[in-house]
């Protein structure tokens, strides 16, 4: 029953991210991601990704994470704006976690009305 409530939004996120790449030193796809019921604190994120507790993790805002990507009139900027709008409209308590150094896993997560946490994930390379 819970999955039925979440699936339409997950489908919308998948459609919004289809073929969308997050630019960094290497461009990686952005993918729909379901975290689960537990609140995604830094410790919970590290446990969910099976990473050691001393793994570097930073919290960022949605605005700072997508800064520079939502400006402009090109197709990619429009798609990033649509994705951010979708996440902000459908999810509450949005947060961004950047996990690791150099090879970074990024998660943009928010709370669905069902209580589940979901959003998108991608990888970044920053040297």
Q: Is the pLDDT of residue 4 over 70?
A: no
- Contact between 126 and 28 under an 8 Å Cβ cutoff? The reply is no
The total number of structural domains in the chain stands at 1
Give residue-wise pLDDT tens across range 76-117: 999 999 999 999 999 999 999 999 999 999 999 999 999 999
Query: Hey, what are 99's tokens?
Result: 């996990």
* Alpha-carbon gap, residue 120 to 127, rounded angstroms: 23
Phi, psi (degrees; rounded to nearest 5) at 83? -65, -50
- CATH for 119: 3.40.1460.10
* Alpha-carbon gap, residue 14 to 8, rounded angstroms: 10
* Chain mean pLDDT for the chain: 94
Give residue-wise pLDDT tens across range 5-37: 899 999 999 999 999 999 989 999 999 999 999
* Alpha-carbon gap, residue 41 to 13, rounded angstroms: 22
Predicted pLDDT at 84: 98
Helix, strand, or coil (residue 57): strand
Q: Which domain holds residue 54?
A: 2-125
- Contact between 13 and 69 under an 8 Å Cβ cutoff? The reply is no
Query: Hey, what are 12's tokens?
Result: 């919308």
């Amino acid at each position: 029953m819970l999955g039925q409530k979440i699936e339409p939004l997950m489908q919308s996120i998948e459609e919004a991210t289809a073929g969308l790449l997050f630019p960094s030193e290497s461009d990686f796809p952005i993918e729909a991601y379901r975290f689960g019921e537990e609140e995604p604190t830094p410790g919970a994120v590290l446990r969910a990704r099976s990473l050691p507790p001393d793994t570097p993790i930073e919290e960022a805002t949605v605005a700072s994470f997508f800064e520079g990507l939502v400006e402009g009139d090109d197709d990619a900027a429009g798609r990033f704006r649509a994705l951010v709008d979708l996440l902000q409209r459908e999810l509450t308590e949005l947060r961004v976690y950047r996990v690791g150094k150099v090879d970074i896993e990024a998660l943009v997560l928010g709370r669905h009305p069902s209580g589940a946490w979901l959003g998108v994930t991608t990888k970044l390379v920053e040297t």
